[in-house]
Amino acid sequence: MKMEILFPEFCNLFGDIFNMKYLKMCIPEAELIETALDEVPTFVNEDVNLIYLGPMTENTQEKVIKKLLPYKERIEELIEKNVVFLFTGNALEVLGKYIENEDGSKINGLGIFDVYSKRDMMHRHNSLMVGKFEDIEIVGFKSQFTMMYGDNTNSYFLEVEKGIGLNKESKLEGIKKNNFIGTYVIGPILILNPLFTKKIMKMLGQEKEVALKDDVMAAYEARLEELKKL
Amino acid sequence: MKKSFRFYLALWGAKIGTLLLKIFRRNATFFPGKFALKVCPDFIGRIQKPKTMIAVTGTNGKTTVCNMIEDVLKDNKYDFIDNKYGSNIDAGVATTLISGVSFMGKSKKDLAILEVDERSAPKIYPYLTPTYLVCTNLFRDSLMRNAHTEFISGILTKYIPKDTILILNGDDLIVSNLAPENKRMYFGIDRLDTDTEECENISRDIIACPKCDTKLVYDYVRYNHIGKAHCPKCDFKSPEIDYLATKLDLENMKMTLKIGEREEEYDLISDNIINIYNIISVITVLKQLGLSKEQINESLKKLKIVDTRYTEETVNGVKIITHLAKGINPIACSRVFDYTRKYKGNKAVFLIVDDLHEAVKGSENTSWQYDTDYEFLNDESIKQIIIAGARYLDGLVRLEMAGVNKEKIVYERDELSALDKLKLEGIDTVFILHDLYSMELKDAAKNKVEVMIKNLDKKEK
């Protein structure tokens, strides 16, 4: 099994990289491929089982878009082929139509999803979140300069119970298409959500328990209870 | 900017407010400025300011640097205003400036020392031109407020006034590139035996050359992005250091400072690399104000790092060290964890780093724990780690992710009860690592550990 982390030397904000370290702990036999920004991604020429992209700075977003644009069709093909993707934080914006700056200028994205985002660099949004994914509840944090717009009614990741969805008016969070999951939730989402990690593992054909099961479950249950009281 | 009627209204209101607050023995370090800014939003621009203004900014160390500058100046009979007891955002700065003018708005002091929050740059620097601006370092900080270093360095470069002379940490590649058009001088520390070729920290925030995007080559790494690097493709490289600490002698607590061709010897008041950077920045500032080496060193020798940040005490042969480990601030915590593991002897660590300020809002965003090098606590010399507070379960998981054996970890919700499980046998030092908002808890924990050591000694006798 191959799990590819795209550009970890840049796309590593907010501790998100530990999602992959944790997944590797859960599936020790998996091969973790770290692809640098100046390398050709492994998924271009080989089949991989999971592709991960974490949050990045605004300048890095432009570099990543430039880097991935030649592989747009390959990414679309892999999404159709049910390869597991996990894009966290503003990584999702890279695959949207465009990112709009405060002055109205636009940075074109890959345009794989029919959504766009707007930056407001002097007003950072922070919130805590509880949302439903299939039959499980997911807890998490949001911290972002952007809001995303577009219709995700038929392609959302979470139905939000507490917090916001794609934007402050939305209750539908992120994008899910086949096994592609893109979410604005940042931080160690897999460590915080062992039930979700188990689902990801199932998507990867791994029917086993998560690492540190009892302790991550205790932390998850405590946080879920705490957030529900808010 | 001229003084308008609105300005005087704001000034007089703030002055009267300050007087009333003092009469009622309330803190007058924030609200007078807040009031003034509400009445007159460009108040900072209109108020008469001291001729020389030193501003200190950066992720870590700005309070310590300001405190040291102020203490040395006081010891040398300088008269100045400062925001030591006030806030470091626009309202705190305004309050300090108000304290420095007469009722008619005439400046009473010639010198100001101002700690300035880096995120507040857009609200302060358009109205105030520091003569010198010190930047200690720029690291990942609260991700909720500061997002990332590129954002913070971007706003600093945008808003730092063109006439301000910069005093920058030349070993910090993010800091050394701030406001490239401004006049500047650099301080730094020469290569150390402990520097490495590989970065052992989780985060390093400058990977690519800011000029041509090529991956930088680090000649050596001290921690995170602190060190020396160059671009293999263009002429970008770490700057030449103007105030360079050489010959760090931690045994005798001395260092040599190379200033051009001249060398001066200074005493060190801390063996922590972070504080050594702070001391060098202080010396660099004081030199600009015209103080001699003797004046600086004699006063520096008398100082100690303030008790809220670091204390040490020995009880019956066991040392108790309290050290501020600012929650939500990954690099501040990582530096303290590194200091702890490298401290001589066997250690027990009591970890209370939850951000109580955030906890009040209901629950803390704990993502910062995964930007923090908890891996440093996975050290043979650390025999026990007690983690307590609202986020104790998250702390346990983070320590396990860092590879710490669960048998070494005590984890409990209640902080002081958790301390009951402290095992002192064979321990040389107990470290109490605490957040900024846990001062009372830190003191209570320290008292409890003292009693436990004394009781253990009685039992042994």
CATH code for position B43: 3.40.1190.10
- What pLDDT is recorded for position B2? 77
B313 in contact with A, Cβ within 8 Å: no
Domain extent, residue B415, equals 310-460
pLDDT of residue B456: 83
**Counting every residue, how long is chain B?**
461
Question: B401 to chain A: which residues are within 8 Å by CB?
Answer: 18, 21-22, 25, 191, 212
What pLDDT band is residue B208 in, cutting at 50, 70 and 90? confident
- Check pLDDT > 90 for residue B27: no
Closest CA to A88 of A47, A48, A129: A129
pLDDT in tens, B374-386: 999 999 999 999 9
Contacts of B367 in chain A (CB under 8 A): 14-16, 141, 143, 186-188
Residue window 94-133, chain B: list those with CB within 8 Å of chain A. 122
pLDDT digits (tens, 9 = 90+) for A9-65: 999 999 999 999 999 999 999 999 999 999 999 999 999 999 999 999 999 999 999
The pTM of this model reads 0.92
Class level of CATH domain A2-229: alpha beta
Q: Which are the contacts of B392, defined by CB distance < 8 A and separation ≥ 6?
A: B411, B412, B413, B418
How many residue contacts between A and B have a Cβ separation below 8 Å?
A: 92
The B residues from 396 to 425 touching A (CB cutoff 8 Å) are 396-397, 400-401, 406
Q: What is the tally of structural domains in chain B? A: 2
B residues 170-209 closer than 8 Å to A (CB): 202-203, 207-208
Contact B327, B368 (CB under 8 A): yes
Q: Is B142 among the domain residues?
A: yes
Q: Is the dihedral of CA B277, B159, B142, A191 positive or negative?
A: negative
Residue-wise pLDDT tens digits, B55-107: 999 999 999 999 999 999 999 999 999 998 889 999 999 999 999 999 998 99
Residue A83 pLDDT > 60: yes
Q: Which chain B residues are Cβ-neighbours of A102 within 8 angstroms?
A: none
Q: Which pLDDT tens digit goes with each residue over B336-382?
A: 999 999 999 999 999 999 877 777 777 889 999 999 999 999 999 99
Of the candidates B48, B51, B32, the one whose C-alpha atom is nearest the C-alpha of residue B105 is: B48
Q: How far away is chain B from the Cα of A170, in angstroms, using its nearest Cα?
A: 21
Interchain contact, A128 vs B362, CB within 8 Å: yes
Q: Which of chain B's residues have a Cβ under 8 Å away from the Cβ of A143?
A: 143-144, 147, 365, 367
CB–CB of A215 and B397 under 8 A? yes
β pairing state of B382-388 and B347-352: parallel
Mean pLDDT value across residues B274-296: 96
- In 3D space, the residue among B28, B49, B146 whose CA is nearest the CA of residue B100 turns out to be B49
Q: What tens digit of pLDDT does each residue of B401-444 get?
A: 999 999 999 999 999 999 999 999 999 999 999 998 888 999 99
Residue B357 is predicted with a pLDDT of 74
CATH number of the structural domain spanning residue B329: 3.90.190.20
| Mean pLDDT (whole number) for B433-456 | 93
Q: For chain A, what percent of residues have pLDDT higher than 90?
A: 98
- Which of B150, B184, B218 finishes a domain? B184
Is the CB of residue A160 less than 8 Å from the CB of residue A64? no
Strand order in the sheet with B254-259: B81-82, B111-115, B52-57, B132-135, B165-169, B184-189, B243-249, B254-259, B262-267
Indicate whether B26 pLDDT > 90.
no
Touching check for B85 and chain A: CB below 8 Å? no
Residue where a domain terminates, one of B149, B184, B219: B184
Q: Do A10 and B208 touch (CB under 8 A)?
A: yes
Q: Please provide residue B285's backbone torsions phi and psi, each rounded to the nearest 5 degrees.
A: -65, -50
Q: What is the pLDDT of residue B39?
A: 95
pLDDT confidence of residue A48: 97
* Min Cα–Cα distance to chain B from A77, Å: 30
Could you give phi then psi for residue A128, rounded to 5 degrees?
-100, 155
| Record: contact B144-A143, CB cut-off 8 A | yes
Contact of B90 with B32, CB cutoff 8 Å: no
**Subunit contact A212:B397, Cβ cutoff 8 A:** yes
The residue among B8, B40, B38 whose CA lies nearest residue B106 is B8
Interface of B with A in 379-398 (CB under 8 A): 393-394, 396-397
Per-residue confidence (pLDDT) for residue A221, from 0 to 100: 97
Q: Which residue of B has its CA nearest to A60?
A: B150
Asked whether residue B409 is domain-assigned, the answer is yes
Domain annotation covers residue B102: yes
Query: Using the beta-carbon criterion (under 8 Å), do B397 and A191 form an inter-chain contact?
Result: yes
> Does B9 score more than 60 pLDDT?
yes
> Which of B151, B367, B406 lies at the smallest CB-CB distance from A187?
B367
Split at pLDDT 50, 70, 90, the class of B23 is confident
Question: Nearest Cβ partner of B363 from A9, A10, A230?
Answer: A230
Of A36, A141, A219, the CB nearest to B397: A219
Q: From chain B, pick out residues whose CB is under 8 angstroms from the CB of A186.
A: 143, 367
Sign of CA pseudo-dihedral B208, B209, B213, B215: negative
* Helix, strand, or coil (residue B133): strand
Among chain A residues, the shortest Cα distance to B199 is held by: A9
State the best of A19, A34, A215 to mutate against chain B, taking most chain B CBs within 10 Å.
A215
Kindly state the average pLDDT of the residues A168-176: 96
Give the residue from B146, B165, B184 where a domain finishes: B184
Which residues in chain A are closer than 8 Å to B396, comparing Cβ atoms?
215, 219
Question: pLDDT tens digit string along A128-144?
Answer: 999 999 999 999 999 99
CB contact under 8 A, B367 and A141: yes
- Check residue B307 and give its pLDDT: 62
Q: Which residue of A has its CA nearest to B371?
A: A15
Residues of A in contact with B369 (CB under 8 A): 15, 188
Q: Where are the domains of chain A?
A: 2-229
Asked if A187 and B365 come within 8 Å (Cβ–Cβ), the reply is yes
Which of B138-142, B306-310, B406-410 bottoms out in mean pLDDT, i.e. has the lowest? B306-310
Q: Would the CB atoms of A12 and B203 count as touching at under 8 Å?
A: yes
Distance (Å, rounded) from C-alpha B391 to C-alpha B250?
A: 36
Indicate if the pLDDT at residue A120 is higher than 60: yes
- d(CA A96, nearest CA chain B) in Å: 22
What average pLDDT does chain B have? 93
**Backbone phi, then psi, for B206, in 5-degree steps?**
-130, 105
- What was the pLDDT predicted at A27? 97
What's the CA gap between A220 and A224, in Å, rounded?
Answer: 6
